[in-house]
Each structure stands twice: as C-alpha cells, then as structure tokens.
Amino acid sequence: MKIEFCIESVQGAKAAQKYEASSVELCSELENDGLTPSEALITKCKSIYQGEIHIMIRPRAGDFVYSTKEINQMKKEISLAKKLNVNGVVFGVLNSKSEIDVKPTQLLASHAKMLGLSTTFHRAYDFCISPISSIEKLIELKFDRLLSSGQSSNAETGINLLNKIKKKVENKIEIIAASGINESNAHLFYEKVDGIHFTVHNKKKTIKDLDYINEYKIKRIKQLSNEL
C-alpha cells in the first residue's frame, strides 16, 4: 500500500525523504485544506525530497466553483509545476450543482497531460452528489488518482464507499484514502484502497511549532504497513 505524506514545509520534505514516503502532496496553508504552494517552496522541497511530488493547484480557500479567471490562474500554476519538474498536480472543479464541472476540469487535465504531468482529483469529489457517476467521469477524463474520504467526515467512516469504488474502477484510477488517517486506523485500509494520504504536520500549529513534524505518527504508520 502506498503511503503519501501531505506536507507544507521544508521540514515536511525532510521527513518524507527520511522516512521514504511513496510520494508527497505539497501544499501551502493546510489550515485552509491546502492551497497552491509558492515557487520558492516547491524548489526547496524538490531539492530535499527525491520521490514523487504532487502539487496542489488551488487558488483560494472555500468552495470548488471557480471563475474563468481562476481557471486560467490554475492553468498557469500547472505550467509552473511542469517548469519546476514535479511529477503531478492535484485539483478539483465542481459546478453549482455539486457535480464535476466537466469543461474546465477537462481543460486543466488535458493541459497537465500534454505537459506530461500525472493528475489527481482531490477531495472536491467528496462533495459530489453522485459518487459512482463522478468516478466514472474522472476515468473518462483520464485522471490517474483520486483523493477521497469516501464522502464522509473522515476516511475511516467512509472506508466502505472507498472500497466499493476501488472494486468498481478495476485499477483504472488509483484510490487514495485521505482525511483523519493516523497511527490508530492506518492498518484498516490495507487492501481496501491503493494508498493512504495523511499530514505529517502538527494541526494545532503556532509560530513556535510551525515546522513540528509528528514523527511518532509517521513511524507507527510505517511500522504497521511493514507488518501487513
């Protein structure tokens, strides 16, 4: 089972390298569920972590219904990700009906693919009114991965839907469980999904502990993974 670290700092990149994460998702402002990181942060983290790096493409906090101007900004950020030689991008676009907004999603996904980047649809999926038709649409749009909590408040309570989706897609898209994964429940996802995704940072961060890394959590999850 793949283990992806969600990081927002150089210290997070160091932890990912030290503990041999399968991949990382690099964001800024995790307190706002992750926004596009700066060019400087991407460059620094890439110089430290040698594995797969997937960049969050999200121009603002809030909902996932974007204006044309915001979509154009996201397209430019995808181009920057390619320029900085990362592996993939992570984004999601919905319409006002809580459905995948096909036209801008296809625009961004096609642009990323043209540049040779992998594509991940993030937890905007968890707000879609129809999980099955939505995953079928993502396969149609040739997304490589889905990050999801199984349309629940956390992935543990959404594990049944995650497993149902994994069985349905038949390896046409990777299903990565995300939200609320920790050292107590990580083992539950073995063979239920393709991978798990969790933040390595302290959620209740202050200026003093901005770069605090929860190494105990990382070690226990890695240990449990090796034992399975």
More confident residue, 30 or 104: 104
In this structure, which amino acid lies at residue 133? S
Fold of 2-227: TIM Barrel (3.20.20)
pTM for the model stands at: 0.94
DSSP lists the bridge partners of residue 24 as 5, 53
pLDDT of residue 225: 81
pLDDT of residue 202: 72
Domain boundaries, the chain: 2-227
At 207 the pLDDT is: 45
Sheet strands (E) in 20-138: 23-26, 52-56, 88-91, 118-121
The pLDDT score that the predictor gives to residue 201 is 87
The answer to whether 22 touches 51, Cβ cutoff 8 Å, is: yes
pLDDT of residue 177 exceeding 70: yes
Task: Compute the chain's Rg from CA coordinates.
Answer: 16
Integer Cα distance of 40 and 185 in angstroms: 34
pLDDT of residue 212: 81
Helix/strand/coil for 189: helix
Cα separations in angstroms, 162 against 86, 195, 225: 27, 11, 19
The whole-angstrom separation of Cα 222 and Cα 20 is: 9
CA 132 distance to own-chain centroid: 20
Per-residue pLDDT tens over the stretch 137-156: 999 999 999 999 999 999 99
Using CA atoms, how far apart are residues 43 and 45, in angstroms rounded to an integer? 6
Q: Report helix, strand or coil for 162.
A: helix
Name the phi and psi angles at 219, rounded to 5. Answer: -60, -45
The pLDDT of 99-107, averaged and rounded, is 98
- For the chain, the average pLDDT equals 94
pLDDT confidence band for 76 (50 / 70 / 90): very high
Tell me the pLDDT tens digit for each residue of 8-65. 999 999 999 999 999 999 999 998 999 999 999 999 999 999 999 999 999 999 999 9
